[in-house]
Amino acid sequence: MISTTSLFAPVDNDLRLLTENLKKLVGARHELLEAAAEHLFEAGGKRIRPAIVLLVARATMLDRDITLRHRRLAEITEMIHTASLVHDDVIDEAELRRNVPTVNSLFGDRVAVLAGDFLFAQSSWYLANLDNLAVVKLLSEVIRDYAEGEIQQAMNRFNPSLSIEAYLEKTYYKTASLMANSAKAAGLLSEVPEAVAERLYSYGRYIGLAFQIVDDILDFTTETEILGKPAGSDLISGNLTAPALYAMEAKPYLEVLIKREFSQEGDIEQALALIKESNGIERSRELAADYAKLAVQQLDCLKPSEASQALADLADYVLSRLY
C-alpha cells in the first residue's frame, strides 16, 4: 500500500496546519467538546478530502500562492466530513471507527448529536464567510446530498432489490458529492475557466466513487483488527454494497438470507462465505479501477505540476488500499 505521507508531500505543511486549526476551532471554545475534538481530528484520518482541495488549489494557482480561502475551504470539507461521520455513527449505533471508540460510544448520543451539529453549523458559517456565492451553493449542495444519501441508505436496509445504479447514486450523495463539489469549488477560488471547473468536478466525482467502492470491498476483505470495526459490518447492518449486490447475481440464496435479515443462526457466516465464493469482490474491484482511470483522465485540463501529479497518484493510492 502506498503511504499518504509521500503522496500528499506537496501539501504536507498545509495539512499539518489544517489539523491544528481544526482542533483549536472545536476544542478551544468548549470544554465539553474538547475531548471529542482531540478524538475526532487525531484519530488517524487520512485527510483525503482537504488534501484534494489543497492539491487542486496548488495545481491551479501554480506560481501564485494559495489563498486563505483555499485553506478555509479545505477545513470546511474536513468539518463536513467529520460531522457526517459522527452522526453516521449515532445512526448506525457504531462502537468503533478506525479502531477507536466512536464519539457516541465514548460520550453518549447527546454529545455526538451536539458535536455533529456544531461542526455542520461551523462549516455553514465559514462557508458563508468565504464571500463567494457560487462556492456557497456548491457546498450547501454537499450537505444536502449527504442527508439525502443517508436517508436513501436507511430506507434500503436489507432491501435485496437495490440496484447497483441506486447503490452508486447513494454513494455519490454520501461520499463523492463532497469530493466533486469541493474540487470544483477550489478551482473556482483560483478563477479557472468554467470548463476546467467541470473537469475538476468530474475528477472528484470519479475518485470519490472509486474510494467508496474500495472502502466497501475492504469491509469484507479486511480483518476486524486492521479495519477498526467488525468485518462485514455493512452487510450485518443491512447496508448492501457493491460486493453483496454483485454476489447476489451469482448466488441467489444470498437474497433469502438478506430478506430474513440474518435472523437464523449461521446466516451471517453463510452470507459472508457466499460473497467470498462469488465474483462480487472482483467485479467491485474492476468497477473501482474503471472510476479511478476516469478520474485520472480528467486531469489533462491541468498544466503538469507536482500537485497535478499527486492528484493522479491519488487514484493509484485509492486502488492500492486493496493490496
- Please give the C-alpha separations between residue 8 and each of 19, 61, 237, 320, in angstroms, as whole numbers: 14, 17, 34, 15
CB of 177 to a copy of itself, least distance (A): 11
Cell numbers given for 274? 457466499
Q: Which is nearer to a copy of itself, 109 or 286 (CB)?
A: 109
Q: Which is nearer to a copy of itself, 79 or 301 (CB)?
A: 79
Q: Which is nearer to a copy of itself, 32 or 218 (CB)?
A: 32
Non-local CB neighbours of 83 within 8 Å, separated by 6+ positions: 115, 116, 117, 118, 119, 120, 123
Residue located via cell numbers 488534501: 51
Contact residues for a copy of itself, defined by CB under 8 A = 30-33, 87, 90-91, 93, 109-111, 113-114, 116-118, 120-122, 124-125, 127-129, 131, 133, 136-137, 140-141, 143-144, 146-148, 150-151, 154-155
Q: Which is nearer to a copy of itself, 176 or 312 (CB)?
A: 176
Pairing of strands 96-97, 100-101: antiparallel
CB of 209 to a copy of itself, least distance (A): 21
How many residues can be counted in the chain? 323
CB of 39 to a copy of itself, least distance (A): 16
DSSP at 65: P
Measured CA to CA, the distance from residue 66 to residue 54 in angstroms comes to: 8
Q: Which is nearer to a copy of itself, 114 or 319 (CB)?
A: 114
CB of 9 to a copy of itself, least distance (A): 35
Helix (H) or strand (E) holding 96: strand 96-97
CB of 111 to a copy of itself, least distance (A): 8
CB of 151 to a copy of itself, least distance (A): 5
Measured CA to CA, the distance from residue 49 to residue 80 in angstroms comes to: 10
Residue located via cell numbers 452508486: 168
Q: Which is nearer to a copy of itself, 201 or 291 (CB)?
A: 201
> What residues are paired with 64 via a beta bridge?
none
Q: Which is nearer to a copy of itself, 140 or 305 (CB)?
A: 140
CB of 140 to a copy of itself, least distance (A): 4
CA dihedral 3, 82, 69, 187 (to 10 degrees): 60
Rounded to the nearest 5°, which phi and psi values hold at 131? Answer: 60, 40
CA angle 241, 245, 250 (to 5 degrees): 150
Q: Which is nearer to a copy of itself, 135 or 209 (CB)?
A: 135
CB of 27 to a copy of itself, least distance (A): 12
